[in-house]
Structure 1
Amino acid sequence: MNNDNIHILHVDDNAAFTRLAETFLNNVDDRFRVHSETDPTAGFEYLRANDVDCVVSDHDMSRSTGIEFLETVRAQYPDLPFILYTGKGSELVASKAIRADVTDYLQKGGGNDNFELLANRVSNAVEQAQTRREAEQTRIQMRAIVENTTDAVVIIDTSSTIQFANPAVESAVGYAPDELVGESLAMLMPNRLEKPHMEAVNRYLETGEQGIDWQSVDLVALHRDGREVPVSISFSEFEQAGEPRFIGIFSVASSE
């Protein structure tokens, strides 16, 4: 999406309908910039040469079906919003469209209300795609930071099972990341701290009470070789796939 405009490619072999749709869509939302083609092949060539935020396509066309066009688009643009806007809807067509990874499916209707509904579907699809792209970019950036920081990073679930560990954990506690993932956090703590840790986690999950300051806590970790090493650790919470996760960022305290 460029400068908040939404660039739409509309493919329908009924030229009169494409003109009507273009007029209505432009009137419904002034962000829309609609380009129409009456042939899927020409539509795909336009898509390859231009920035498009959303494809809207008829299904029953003379040279191809909308689902065939969708499959062609998906082969090169797997995340591009694609709305099948068909005049002859059926459960079979809808089922095939879903299997081909259509973004949305809408049956044509008469009057302004139907075009307003289409405009709303287009806006939602484009905004959701933008949100996913931004989230993925943030994830990539955060992963790059986490994997390259000199601080050790460990992520656990509510049962204190380690879900992620970055490369820096090895220099801190002697374990490679893949040796820790799937194991209990108890691997990294002396036995005397395991019970208080689990009690603190359970209390937090039940009441929301942290018990201790989560920033720069001085604790000890258990090194692979059995040594206890002093660490300074900070905790935070986030959600992943609808489940709470806890992240600990720690560094070995200086012996000086």
Structure 2
Amino acid sequence: MKIISRSAVVRNVLLFSLLSLGYLHIVYAFHAGKSAVSMPDIIAFLKSNFPLLALTLATIVSVFKCWKLSTYIYGIFTVTVTFHSLTIFFDSFDKVVLVFNLLYVLAAFYLYQLLYLEFSEAIYNPKFNGRDLDKRKVIDGIVLNFGDENIEGFITHLDKTSFFFRAYEKKIGIRGKAKFSLNYLSKEFNISGKVMTQFHDGYGIKVIDSENSAEGDLSWRELYDILIDRGLYSI
């Protein structure tokens, strides 16, 4: 799967993973009574924690590439950082270190939940592979308006905030914002979205709710509710 645009959740997890090393260095420096901005101490910290540095790199790469396995790698990484930090606390029983630990654990767990939900979205789960002969169609008759070009196709997977669109003919270079139109059950839906991922001849689309408020337009949420209420699609 090709990642065209990364969400705020992915970017925040990447930043947090990088800052986790800085957090742990600050805790070490605080415990030892040293300066946290001393370059020799920073280099010595990195050299003495090379396995953790390697795990940090693995976490950043996996999250950046949006691998589903990255949620497990991120979990192992944050648990490892917490273990190192708790070791310092049990060595000194410093209340400041304990507060740092609690704040870090809360932030790490919150981001873990967001990352897990992120990779559960339809844009990362197309529900088909390149060898499928029978194309799975949840909704047919979708028209993607991308600039001056109209691309016809269908939806293979969807959720409350996104869906995976598969074109009848593969198109190259589709990215950025797009407008989707659909006539379904005698109702006209016009939906704005952003292309986030690409897989074979399909595209993961994140719905932009703020741009679906034109008078007379039915929103993505209304379409989603219709499909669920009528039993045409199961969660």
Both structures adopt the same fold (TM-score exceeding 0.5): no
- Whichever structure has more helix as a proportion of its residues is 2
Structure having greater relative contact order (Cα 8 Å, sep ≥ 6): 2
Larger radius of gyration: 1
User: What interval of TM-score do these two structures reach, taking the shorter chain for normalisation?
Assistant: 0.3 to 0.5
